[in-house]
Amino acid sequence: MSALFDKTWARQAFALAVLLISWEVLGRAGLISPFYAPPPSAIALALYELFADGSIWQHLIATLSAALAGLAFGLLLGAVLGFGAAMVRPVADIIEPVMILLNAIPRVILAPLFIIWFGIGLGSKVAVSLVLVAVLIFFAVYSGIREVDARLVERVRTLGGGRMTLLREVYVPSVTAWILGNLKVAVGFAFTGAVVGEFVASSRGLGYLLSFAQSTYNAALTIALIVIIMGFVLILFGLAGRVERRLLHWRYA
């Protein structure tokens, strides 16, 4: 398995190297316009300049704070609403249509409204991330509870298990698996919400820098910022994967 893993990473690294070298050569030969697709060397220079003066860190911290806060509150709100809707039918009759409607529309279009409500500070970015994550987790929890095997529930009740036993021994393990299975998607949604909120209106953050790069037609800076965002998301994906494997070790075993 380790040999296969090493070979896979080697092939991926080789393919990436070929792509970057070809891109650089074609760009220097004038076959690719640097205005639209600047060569990797120009993107690397833009990355260096972002980190050289240290100003990038305040923008990284702003985006990361909004994304992680939105992720945490979205996980909590989605789980609570999902549990309530799955366990109490009248609650489901009220909440489920709202969640279906929010899921049907591009939720990032709510960003301008949140900025009107909460201003251009951290609150509006957290709100956008929260909504994106909460809708996803709601359906994960709601579906996780509703798809629990009814025979298993009956057996627990037959053995004298009450509502708390069902929650602890049946519903919570099932819901945990569904939440962790969607955790990587939730991380991506949280970052999307934070960056989109900053892009619409903000005084700092990676989305603010992206808006500046767009307004100045700086493709190298734009791609450099995209690379930074992708790097942070991949790091969080890795952490989420470790949490999933640790808490769901029985599934991987």
pLDDT tens per residue across span 166-179? 666 666 666 777 77
pLDDT at 139: 87
pLDDT at 1: 45
Q: Which CATH class is domain 49-252?
A: mainly alpha
99: Cβ contacts below 8 Å, ≥ 6 apart: 81, 135, 138, 139
Q: Taking 90 as the threshold, does the pLDDT of residue 73 lie above it?
A: yes
φ, ψ for residue 156 (rounded to 5)?
A: -65, -40
For the chain, the average pLDDT equals 81
What is the Cα 253 distance to its own chain's centre?
27
pLDDT tens per residue across span 95-131? 888 888 888 888 788 888 888 888 888 888 999 999 9
Distances (CA, A) of 161 to 169, 176, 194, 225: 9, 20, 43, 54
CB 167 within 8 A of CB 98: no
Map out the domains of the chain as residue ranges. 49-252
